[in-house]
Structure 1
Amino acid sequence: MDHLAAAARALAGEPDRVAALDHLVVAWRANHRWPELAELVEALSAEITRALTPIDAELGDPDYHAAWIARAAGATAHELEILIPGLFRGPLGKRIRERFDLLAPFADDPRMCAAFGRMIAEPPVTAAANFSLWAQLFARLKQAPDVRLRPILDQRLRSVGGASQFWPMLHQRALKLLRQLPNELPEPSAEQREQIAKLRERIAELAAAPPAALVRGDTPSLESELLAKVYANPDALEHRLVCADALLSQGDPRGEFIQLQLARQEHGGRPSKRERQLLAAHELSWLGDLGGVIERKSVRFEGGFPVYGEVLFESATQRAVIGNEAWATFREVDTDNVSLLTDPCMRGLRRAGGFGFAQLRELLEHLGPASGIERLGPVLVDQLPPFELEHLMKAEASWLSGVRELWLHLDQHDLSKEPDAFGWLFSTPLGRRLRAFRLSSFPFPSYDLREPPWPAWLDTFDGGDGWSRLERLSLDMSFLTLEFVREPQRRLLRVSTVISGGPAHYHLRDAERVLAPLRGRFDALEIVSRGAKPMVTTAALIFAEAAGFARFGHVHAPGAKTELGYEGWRRWRKLIERQGRAAKRLSKSRKRARKGTPKPRRAPATTSDGPWFRFADGVEKLGLGGSVSWLEFCGDELHVLGRTLGGLSADSLAPRWALEDRRHASVSCVAHDRGRGRLWLGTYKGATLLWDLAGRRELGRARFHRTEVRAVAVVPGRDLLLSVDRDRKLHEWAYEPGPGDEPVVMIPRASTTLAAPVTAMAVHPSGDSLALLAGSGRVSLRSVDDLSTDRVIGHVGPRAEVLRWAPGGDHLIAGRRDGSVVVWDADGTELTEVELHEAHVSALCSTPDGGALISAGKRVRVTNRGSGEELLVIEPGNGTIGSLAVSEDGAVLAVGAWRGVSCWSLRDGRLLGRYPGV
């Protein structure tokens, strides 16, 4: 089908703009995603948007989010122009995840590609919690490669970004996508160019005319009628089956989802993979207007419709969803909003909780036809007896006449846990109707009590005033729940536990202590394991023996929503905190509404690409901190890396200069390019920088490592640089000077992921091969021009850290932890192994002529490479030695040790000078 011709026909005469837009989007996908077609889509979309009602930009953030979610839940492709600005409306936090998920189905659209490009250019969120969102964004762009992204990606790569780990993640993904985008696209044919030109003219004509009335696409009437029947009688499964068939016939995935959940409801079992996929893709759109006020992680679907959620209202405008008929399918709700709980739309509600005694009082005093609520709780208790006790005693609770179970959750650790503290409950009209009572609190563990109070609770359950009417009493502790059940023919003790598999010995000890006082008080025992795995039989036997039973029932029920133990306490604690924050935001929005002042907008965060380091000349002190990890002679200076990177006078060891760390990046490793007078730096924050010593400025920089740069190297005679990080990512960089004095942002020429983390790296003097020493002790060679090659030449044992080429490149030398060194020929053939020290070889270097090898352990040894004769032994006596360097004339040896640098004569071993660390 010729979609360009179809779009032209749709715009002819009485134009059907929406149909034309759909054809243009399909034409864009089918024709290499030409930019010309993308321009047509965007122009027609802008013309259509003139007739649509936008989302009020003056709304406060919670109201805007709720309005955005409600609009996006049922949106079609022609409304994208209205929704896309929501991806940049902050503060976003976790809200952007919900907005992104609702727009993700439209990802293969030129307008969404442009929006994703803007997100790359101006990232709206950078927190690690949203890294998965960025992974999905780049995956979508890979599936729909749009060449218009090329300049955006290129510009992104030429910006270093901030100091967080977000930027290297973004740069790596941007570089990968840039390399996958086509460089050139096939040209449109003459006929296609003519069609595009005519379409452009027609869209311009429509845009010049007054906006045409455009009705937003509503739900088909048949679907509305079917949904209305489901909402009117949420317990009738036949309405859901009919609705599922109708939705399936229209190609709506919700029909399949309803059928899958109904089948599972009938036969049991866990959700299928297909069911989980459908829910992940469409959950927010199925929630519709409710998505803006429901805590998304809490939502639970059954029978194809939502049945549970935690509801928070953060603004007065959000309360508009209270009367929505979609609430009818909810059977359980946790919220502190009484208006929602008492609204007639909550006709399917059977449990309400997540509120305090103040809200309980309002529910008890509410008048109207009796609700279907059977269970109340958790009711969060912060005072015993409650401040509202007088009102609770007077309230007839006619609206809650069906309630038979109450669940109290003690939020405060110091509240009483004795049964006498709750006797007032059964003097209230509500309490006299109860048949089940549950008390939960994390500070209810057995180890916190000298004498377990369970016998007292059981005595009260048996004969206490009002308690004897109860059929079930449940007490939650740190890892289990005791449930006393009164049945017509027997008394049952049910023990529910979150323990999975084999419990720890202290769990068994505590369980024995809890259950022992109950021996002989019950006729039967049932053990219910709520963990992911069933509790092992031996542990169940210990529980049964402690309770005095030889026979018992053991049930594994992992899917049950019990909220036991510490996890349950933490969940309700978080709910209280969220409700408190929502109440504060609601109060602020009401105050602003009364004053008529809109909420001030926060300026978007910007990232600075300023210098990471500043050259400081004539410093008085050079802070070396702990061990000196790198030394290098350069003319009349000795360059040093400790806590700070700087230079000392080679003869007097007087401080000359230092690089001041402007972003607290901390240099982790250095390589010296002698021929060009440059330093190649790696930092603990993943940045890499090329520094010009003569010009005293940054030449180039990059931010492609997400973790600490472990080693850097310079390829002799070529403008090639290497760096490897803790995550095993090896990059090769080509430096090319740019115009002006601004540092060039470098992009990796090649990259590879290594098999193991690297502790040392050395480039052959010829610049052809690269030697790598892994933390496992593996030594391998790679070609500088092909980093994917990898040839293992030997192993030197774990935790080895020293690897060096001899000055002439004829030998490769590595140090072991046992004090020996291993020598290979340039082709990778192992030649010899020599023991030079009693323990760990911490540093190696050679004299400029290659005649002597200098190694450091607890002391420094100078060894003739040809004969193996020991020429000199130096004992710096200043702690662990971290680095060695020899002057260009071969006369002076610099030793970097703990908190200091010392220089020694290689002729007689005489100390020439010392600079202590500061």
Structure 2
Amino acid sequence: MSEALHSHLERAVECIARYEEQEALGAVLDAWRECRAPELVVFAQDLEARLDSAEAERAGQAAEARRAARDLARKLEERGTPDEVEARLDAVLGMLPEPRLIAGLLAITRLTSVAEPQAVLKLCAALWHVGPPFDVAPLEALHARMRPAAWAAAARLSSVIGLGLDWVPPELDAKARQLLAELRDAFRVRGAYASRSASILAQWLPRIHANPEDESVRLVMADQLLEVGDPLGELIMLQCSAAPDSERIDALLAKHVRSWELPLGGLVEPGTTRFERGLPVAVRMAGRAASLIPPEPGPAWCSVREINWARVGWSVVHGQWLAHPHLRGVTRMRRVELFWARLMGQPPNVSRLELCGPVGPHLSGTPAAADVFDRLALLPSLSWLELCDAYVSDVSLCANSRLATKLARIDIIGQGRWTLTVTPGAEVPIEATLVSERSIEAFERVLLAAERFGTRALRVRWERRLDAGCVERLRRAASGFSHVDWA
């Protein structure tokens, strides 16, 4: 046996011990490519079954490759047009050989269209690429169906049949058998640890969700998770530390974030969740969330404090979803399309809301334009509004609404050209900043519209040097305020 085989099996043992089952499967498949012993196929199938049941294939580049191989293996067994079948055979040639593909390739032999010479040649190429062991009976049946005129393709198929008939299963040497035995033992131990880990989470997570500020409960759970080698325990310990190791935290998240996101379900954009003290606190909704009827949020959502909708359109159904008790901890929502905000319902604890405008160009003159901000005034806990990509007219719409009288802070960003911050309780309640000097005219109108929020005091800033004429124009626009700070 080659040293490469032993090296792959040693790597698989190490990966299993480090909770890196996806990488362990890759190492076992590398070993199979070196020595196609049946024992390696059986172990690979067992490991794949556990990964598939846990959906852990979502984590990392190796996982993406495994998912692609799994999906292709399934498609190979499905019916399709001749062009689709040939495209799938071409895809096989672009992948590393693995046992899972063999059943699909043999299933293709039953299709009528595969008896054509071009399809037979592609099937033969795919079988040569993947290699034995494979059952030759379906290939012999295909050979019998071929027309005499297709003698060249039939000869190629005969050589593939011969490859299958001549194949003799190799036997592992003593060292490889020992390593495989160690791998099976490690796999069993990992299975026991995984079961224990699931039990620990089931025991402690409900207590954490019920009292999220009690850090001592998290630390008890983290201790128990560390005992069974679960990396989530390490993440909790690190993020609860007074001096966290940011590099180690980043490394853990890079490797495990997608697996840790799984309890949140399929509405979350993979790999984007932010974790604090070991649990998800901020998520970004996936684009497909707009076209799905959202399933009931599970208990994992209890720790989420922020949802980024990333301009995902939604419906009344999503508004009802937001009222679920498991989302009672959500206090901030980001990147909500302003029009969809009218359908949001009244999630009770949302205190900070970021809207994507503008109102004016799309809704001005419609009933929606008159009541968007008034509807938001019904949110019981809302105290901070952020309006992005706004127009000057949106400043007036907001200032004239009932919403303006209940908020502790309003941030309005005018398409990257100006900003306006309103904090009624501050010594200087209104601050305006000119970002682009080319927007001086729009900024003048912003200052005039800002008077509707109150005229007690204003602070004006600009990020680039302005000439005397521009400064004078701004002074005139701000003349309605009792006091103006020129920062």
Q: TM-score range by the shorter chain?
A: 0.5 to 0.7
The residue correspondences of 1:644-723 to structure 2 (distance < 5 A) are: none
Cα distance in 2 for residues equivalent to 1:325 and 1:428: 37
Larger Rg: 1
1:448 lines up with 2:467 in the alignment? no
Cα distance in 2 for residues equivalent to 1:241 and 1:320: 33
> Which residue is equivalent to 1:350?
331
Query: What runs of 5+ residues in structure 1 fail to find an aligned partner?
Result: 1-21, 56-67, 75-79, 91-113, 123-150, 155-184, 200-215, 470-485, 496-506, 526-546, 549-918
Q: 1:306 to 1:48 in 2, by over 3 A?
A: closer
Q: 1:34 to 1:295 in 2, by over 3 A?
A: closer
Q: 1:87 to 1:289 in 2, by over 3 A?
A: farther
Deviations 1:750-808 (A, max 9, x none): xxxxxxxxxxxxxxxxxxxxxxxxxxxxxxxxxxxxxxxxxxxxxxxxxxxxxxxxxxx
Which of 225, 229, 242 pairs up with 2:207?
229
Q: 1:218 to 1:324 in 2, by over 3 A?
A: farther
> Which residue is equivalent to 1:404?
383
The residue correspondences of 1:508-519 to structure 2 (distance < 5 A) are: 508-509=464-465, 517=474
Q: 1:300 to 1:510 in 2, by over 3 A?
A: farther
> Which residue is equivalent to 2:283?
309
> Which residue is equivalent to 2:301?
327
In structure 2, what residue type is equivalent to 1:285?
S
> Which residue is equivalent to 1:436?
409
1:188 lines up with 2:144 in the alignment? no
Cα distance in 1 for residues equivalent to 2:222 and 2:274: 19
The residue correspondences of 1:38-53 to structure 2 (distance < 5 A) are: 38-43=37-42, 46=45
Deviations 1:246-275 (A, max 9, x none): 222221111111222222xx558xx62211
Which of 352, 371, 376 pairs up with 1:375?
352
Q: What is the SS of the residue equivalent to 2:269?
A: strand
1:85 lines up with 2:85 in the alignment? no
> Which residue is equivalent to 2:252?
278
CA contact (8 A) 1:295 1:312 kept: yes
Cα distance in 2 for residues equivalent to 1:333 and 1:314: 15
Q: Deviation at 1:387? A: 4.5
Q: 1:245 to 1:310 in 2, by over 3 A?
A: same
Which of 398, 401, 407 pairs up with 1:425?
398
CA contact (8 A) 2:239 2:276 kept: yes
CA contact (8 A) 2:383 2:409 kept: yes
Deviations 1:449-476 (A, max 9, x none): 354625x544654x52xx139xxxxxxx
Q: 1:41 to 1:359 in 2, by over 3 A?
A: same
CA contact (8 A) 1:447 1:510 kept: yes
> Which residue is equivalent to 1:388?
368
The residue correspondences of 1:89-128 to structure 2 (distance < 5 A) are: 116-117=96-97
Q: 1:118 to 1:41 in 2, by over 3 A?
A: closer
In structure 1, what residue type is equivalent to 2:330?
L
1:360 lines up with 2:341 in the alignment? yes
Cα distance in 2 for residues equivalent to 1:228 and 1:73: 25
Deviations 1:696-754 (A, max 9, x none): xxxxxxxxxxxxxxxxxxxxxxxxxxxxxxxxxxxxxxxxxxxxxxxxxxxxxxxxxxx
1:256 lines up with 2:234 in the alignment? yes
Cα distance in 1 for residues equivalent to 2:298 and 2:467: 47
CA contact (8 A) 1:404 1:436 kept: yes
Q: Deviation at 1:352? A: 0.9
Q: 1:87 to 1:278 in 2, by over 3 A?
A: farther
Cα distance in 2 for residues equivalent to 1:192 and 1:297: 38
CA contact (8 A) 1:70 1:289 kept: no
Cα distance in 1 for residues equivalent to 2:196 and 2:287: 27
RCO higher in structure (CA 8 A, sep ≥6): 2
Deviations 1:106-165 (A, max 9, x none): xxxxxxxx974459x99xxxxxxxxxxxxxxxxxxxxxxxxxxxx9599xxxxxxxxxxx
Query: What runs of 5+ residues in structure 2 fail to find an aligned partner?
Result: 1-20, 60-64, 76-93, 103-127, 132-169, 185-193, 418-434
1:241 lines up with 2:214 in the alignment? no
The residue correspondences of 1:18-167 to structure 2 (distance < 5 A) are: 38-43=37-42, 46=45, 70=55, 72=57, 85-86=70-71, 116-117=96-97
Deviations 1:855-907 (A, max 9, x none): xxxxxxxxxxxxxxxxxxxxxxxxxxxxxxxxxxxxxxxxxxxxxxxxxxxxx
The residue correspondences of 1:587-606 to structure 2 (distance < 5 A) are: none
Q: 1:371 to 1:262 in 2, by over 3 A?
A: same
Q: 1:430 to 1:186 in 2, by over 3 A?
A: same
Q: 1:417 to 1:294 in 2, by over 3 A?
A: same
In structure 1, what residue type is equivalent to 2:465?
R
- The number of residue pairs the alignment matches comes to 333
> Which residue is equivalent to 2:119?
none
CA contact (8 A) 2:33 2:98 kept: no
Q: 1:191 to 1:310 in 2, by over 3 A?
A: closer
Q: 1:260 to 1:373 in 2, by over 3 A?
A: same
Identity between Structure 1 and Structure 2 (%): 20
Q: Which has the higher helix share?
A: 2
CA contact (8 A) 2:305 2:330 kept: yes
Q: 1:417 to 1:358 in 2, by over 3 A?
A: closer
Q: Deviation at 1:278? A: 0.8
In structure 1, what residue type is equivalent to 2:349?
G
Which of 436, 440, 454 pairs up with 1:468?
454
C-alpha RMSD over aligned residues = 5.3
> Which residue is equivalent to 1:95?
none
Cα distance in 1 for residues equivalent to 2:458 and 2:197: 54
CA contact (8 A) 2:392 2:442 kept: no
In structure 2, what residue type is equivalent to 1:388?
A
Cα distance in 2 for residues equivalent to 1:524 and 1:85: 66
In structure 1, what residue type is equivalent to 2:392?
K
Q: What is the SS of the residue equivalent to 1:328?
A: helix
The residue correspondences of 1:540-619 to structure 2 (distance < 5 A) are: 547=486
Q: Deviation at 1:403? A: 0.5
Cα distance in 1 for residues equivalent to 2:468 and 2:197: 60
Q: What is the SS of the residue equivalent to 2:343?
A: helix
Deviations 1:488-545 (A, max 9, x none): xx976688xxxxxxxxxxx7436999888479989998xxxxxxxxxxxxxxxxxxxx
Q: What is the SS of the residue equivalent to 2:217?
A: helix
Cα distance in 2 for residues equivalent to 1:422 and 1:384: 14
Cα distance in 2 for residues equivalent to 1:83 and 1:218: 31
Cα distance in 1 for residues equivalent to 2:397 and 2:353: 17
TM-score (structure 1 length as normaliser): 0.30
Cα distance in 1 for residues equivalent to 2:373 and 2:289: 33
